[in-house]
Chains A and B, each alone.
Chain A
């Protein structure tokens, strides 16, 4: 062995090839099986993709680095299930590019946030967290009252569709209109949103003002959608409890 290595050290390309081979094995064994998504992750029938408004909110969530303090992954542990709700399933993030499981909980997990608070609570909390939770160390985001830019939404949906997220032609073509309509329950487009994304989609003026479509609308719509895209997790955990 030592002799072999003694000779290997004289060959730079030999070292290069050896390093590549030795370093590839582990990754190949662990990652390759996950490629066959159909077998690893069973997509529930009721899973819906994010609406354009929620997607825009998700991008604000990325932009502001909320993921640095919040996880979206309830682990399979008793105290987490008691604190946050049903543990997360792989299927729930099957269409998430990228996933936002997170790695640090400076703030709580928010995988099951949807419906926990009112829209008004979120708006007040994002503008000044300490006005709502005095001991909070979350940053304030007063600039979220800016107008939402929707002009790239169609192109973004189309890109995601190419990566396998089920955004059909109608969804792509109507993306900007749907984003606006989801925040205007009285408008003509509101029915179109429900038609395309399901009756379960919340159609409201999330920031309280239907006249203006803001980044706040998008972010709150996204936060309220967390954990509501499929009932699979609730059903699975419910069944396990029942046994």
Chain B
């Protein structure tokens, strides 16, 4: 990895590593104890590790002379490895917390193993660790191919990836130690949030600088989605996380938002984390990998324009559908509901566009498990957006909200759509980077596909049943006008569904582990640095 850097870049890398180590030292010294001190220690250790790695290789021969004439894929390769590591951690914790709901006595009596602390480890681990690394890694690949230009420099992609993973590691270890802002999907404390802002700005600058070097007149549609992901996530992250730390030398902070404003800001953030993290970015992935893998151009260019702007405009309004019948003003709830229903149009336009792209390539879908992952992703994308619009309708929401139906819906999107498209992209990229026609164990891809599909179906169907049962039990009245069931009756009724969900999740996790092992085997068997069948880079003047 370091061999790909030129000498000045290595010197910069060394300087940045020293800066990171000093930052960690300063944090640890200022806080002296508690989560912030531990996080300072982690940054210090990472900084020192990087100093040794870079310092040791400082004068190890120059960067390859012809590197300007090649795409820079080392960061993407690292990003894929991190994606898979976080997949195993995040989904492993997911299966574990799912099991705890069936078998609560299994919790060891250590505070950090408790359900309430592990649940955000799961959500952050899969959304940011698994999803985020996949987005950043693939965005580098897609950006270079569709622009026919090499990344603007060789250092900032590493800053982005390493910095982002440090954020994820700070966040999840913080929850284990009990440090949390409690805002869903934004639980990390103030200093981690600030750190992410810095990383994100570097990411955005890298994206724009590379686009500026492009050798294609047009910016391909996948990049619009990646750009929307980067920009809007920055906006959401900054506004939602505005907070006042109790002390600069401590972890604890209070959000500046309170009560109903906080609820609105939180769900404006929360739902648009779904929209711009878990949807827009992944649509960018879909718009690149589906045509590449199926060998067919995107079905309709017009439809892709309409659905892009529709998604960017409509999604921002819908967060208030999380707050139906609450103390949020009624008109805001109504706006949220209305826009949620309208959102179905651009969502189905995207899903339809993807599926229509496969016309003429159905035999490939049948034979190629990788393309099948992408096809199933598009189908689940269509299904979950339909379900989402439906759940946003006020009377439906009165039944579904607070129940496991929501969790079922979330996972039909995250397992069926997000994870499937990621696996499709990984199975496309890894052989390509390893100079092979296919993965080391092609049959394992087939196995993974069926594990993933059956795991998702078991998960989602059991939680539909769970959620609807819960919702109906909570609102049931007997002839005398009294509530029919106590709350604990509904808890008892959940047991079989929670067990089934754990099983479905375990199948899905099994597939993910298979993918990680398969990737390792493929990367190890690679003749270094050969990329076959790639889109040609535009000829470059010598550096």
CB <8 Å contact, A19 and B475: no
Size bracket, chain B contacts: 35 or more
Q: Which of B266-321 contact A (CB under 8 A)?
A: 266, 268, 302, 305, 309, 312-320
Give the contacting residue for B184; candidates A9, A15, A103; CB below 8 A: A103
Closest A residue by C-beta to B258: A97
Q: Does A75 contact B (CB under 8 A)?
A: yes
Find out whether the CB atom of B259 lies under 8 angstroms from the CB atom of A65.
no
* A19 x B227 contact (CB < 8 A): yes
**Residues of B close to A105: CB separation below 8 A:** 402-403, 470
Who on chain B is nearest to A31 by CB?
Answer: B264
A81: shortest Cβ distance to chain B, in Å?
11
- State the CA gap A96–B261 with chains docked (Å): 10
Residues of A within 8 A of B247 (CB): 152, 155
Interface bin, chain A: 35 or more
Q: Assess whether A2 is in contact with B302, with CB atoms less than 8 Å apart.
A: yes
In the complex, chain B residues whose CB is within 8 Å of the CB of A156: 246, 252, 254
Q: Are B180 and A10 in contact (CB under 8 A)?
A: no
B259 interface neighbour in A22, A24, A95, Cβ under 8 Å: A95
Does residue B469 face the partner (Cβ distance < 8 Å to A)?
A: no
- Chain A residue numbers with a CB within 8 Å of B246 are 152, 155-156, 159
A160 near B254: Cβ-Cβ < 8 Å: yes
| B247–chain A nearest beta-carbon distance, Å | 6
Partner of A20 from B115, B184, B211, B235 at Cβ < 8 Å: B235
Q: With an 8 A cutoff between CB atoms, is B483 at the interface?
A: yes
Contact residues of B between 109 and 153, Cβ < 8 Å to A: 109, 111, 114-117, 119-120
State whether A98 and B255 are in contact (beta carbons under 8 Å apart), knowing that A12-B219, A105-B402 are contacts in the complex.
yes
A187 within 8 A of B: no
B502 CB within 8 Å of chain A: no
Contact of B316 with A12 in the complex, beta carbons under 8 Å: no
| B450 contacts chain A at the CB level, 8 A cutoff | no
CB contacts (< 8 Å) of B324 on chain A: these are 75
Known: A75-B398, A135-B492. A65 touches B254 (CB 8 A): no
Say whether A79 contacts B325, CB under 8 Å.
no
Chain B residue numbers with a CB within 8 Å of A143 are 109, 111
Q: Is the CB of B258 within 8 A of A20?
A: no
Give the contact stretch, choosing among B98-106, B383-391, B521-529. Answer: B98-106
**B442 touches A (CB below 8 Å):** no
CA distance A6 to B219 in the complex (A): 10
**Residues of B contacting A133 with CB < 8 Å?**
488
Q: Does B335 contact A (CB under 8 A)?
A: yes
Kindly identify, within residues 159 to 203 of chain B, every residue whose CB is under 8 Å from any CB belonging to chain A: 175, 178-184
Q: Is there contact, CB below 8 Å, between B182 and A12?
A: no
Indicate if the CB atoms of B483 and A79 lie closer than 8 Å.
yes
Q: Which of A74-118 contact B (CB under 8 A)?
A: 75-77, 79-80, 82-83, 88-109
Establish whether residues B231 and A20, one from each chain, have CB atoms under 8 Å apart when the complex forms: yes
Chain B residues 458 to 504 lying within 8 A of chain A, measured CB to CB, are 470, 474-475, 477, 483, 487-488, 491-492, 494
B183:A98 contact, CB within 8 angstroms: yes
Q: How far is the CB of B226 from chain A (nearest CB, A)?
A: 11
- With A37-B261, A63-B180, A108-B487 given, is the CB distance from A9 to B477 under 8 Å? no
**Hey, which chain A residues are within 8 Å of B245, CB to CB?**
159
User: A40 at the A/B interface (Cβ < 8 Å)?
Assistant: yes
- Tell me the complex Cα distance, A12–B228, Å: 12
B46: interface (CB < 8 Å): no
Whether B238 is near chain A, meaning CB under 8 Å from some CB there, is no
Given contacts A26-B339, A63-B180, contact A97 B257 (CB under 8 A): yes
Q: A88-B327, A98-B255 are in contact. Are A40 and B260 (CB under 8 A)?
A: yes
Partner of B326 from the list A26, A67, A100, A101 (CB cut-off 8 Å) is A101
Which single member of A5, A68, A162 contacts B305 (CB below 8 Å)?
A5
CB of B411 within 8 Å of the partner chain: no
Asked if A77 contacts B325 (CB within 8 A), the reply is yes
Q: How far apart sit A77 and B253, CA to CA, in the bound complex (Å)?
A: 34
Which A residues touch B327, using CB under 8 A?
Answer: 73, 88-90, 92-93
Contact B232 A35, beta carbon cutoff 8 Å? no
Question: What is the CB-to-nearest-CB distance from B301 to chain A, in angstroms, rounded to a whole number?
Answer: 9
Cβ contacts under 8 Å, A148 to chain B: none
How far apart are the CA atoms of A68 and B181 in the complex, in Å?
13
Question: Within the complex, what minimum Cβ distance (angstroms) separates A172 from chain B?
Answer: 12
Contacts of A31 in B (CB 8 A): 261, 264-265, 268
A42-74 toward B: CB 8 Å interface, digit per residue (1/0)? 000000000000000001001111111101010
Known contacts A65-B117, A75-B326, A79-B477; A106/B101 CB under 8 A: yes
Complex interface: chain B residues within 8 A of A130 (CB) = 104-105
Output the nearest chain B residue to A71 by Cβ-Cβ distance: B402
Given the complex of chains A and B, what is the CA–CA distance between A100 and B228 in angstroms? Answer: 30
Do B219 and A15 touch across chains, with their CB atoms under 8 A apart? yes
Q: Are B317 and A30 neighbours in the complex by a CB distance under 8 Å?
A: yes
Tell me whether A96 and B114 are in contact in the complex, defined as CB-CB below 8 angstroms, given that A62-B180, A104-B402, A143-B109 are known contacts: no
Once the chains bind, are B313 and A136 in contact (CB under 8 Å)? Answer: no
- How far, in angstroms, from A48 to B328 measured CA to CA in the complex? 21
Residues of B within 8 A of A79 (CB): 474-475, 477, 483
A23 touching B228 in the complex, CB below 8 Å, given contacts A105-B403, A163-B258: yes
Q: In the complex, what's the smallest C-beta–C-beta distance from A66 to chain B, in angstroms?
A: 6
Q: Decide if B156 is an interface residue (CB 8 Å cutoff).
A: no
A163 with B320: CB separation less than 8 A = no
B374 contacts chain A at the CB level, 8 A cutoff: no
The distance in angstroms between the C-alpha atoms of A66 and B182, with both chains bound, is 10
Please measure, in the bound complex, the distance between the C-alpha atom of A160 and the C-alpha atom of B247, giving whole angstroms.
12
Whether the Cβ atoms of B231 and A29 lie closer than 8 Å is no
Whether A41 sits at the interface, judged by CB under 8 Å, is yes
Contact check, A164 vs B258: say whether CB atoms are below 8 A apart: yes
B30 at interface, CB cutoff 8 A: no
The B318-351 residues at the A interface (CB cut-off 8 A) are 318-320, 322-329, 332, 335-336, 339
**A241: interface (CB < 8 Å):** no
Q: How far is the CB of B261 from chain A (nearest CB, A)?
A: 5
Q: Chain A's nearest CB lies how many Å from the CB of B284?
A: 13
**Chain A CB within 10 A, most for which of B259, B265, B339, B488:** B259
* Sample (9) of A-B pairs whose CB atoms are under 8 Å apart: A15-B224, A35-B261, A67-B182, A69-B116, A105-B470, A137-B101, A140-B104, A143-B111, A152-B247
List 18 additional A-B contacts (Cβ < 8 Å) besides A9-B218, A24-B316, A101-B263: A2-B302, A15-B224, A31-B264, A34-B260, A34-B261, A65-B114, A65-B115, A65-B116, A65-B120, A68-B116, A96-B259, A98-B254, A104-B406, A106-B101, A136-B104, A136-B491, A139-B115, A156-B252
Which 4 interchain pairs have the tightest Cβ spacing?
Answer: A65-B116, A26-B316, A26-B317, A75-B325
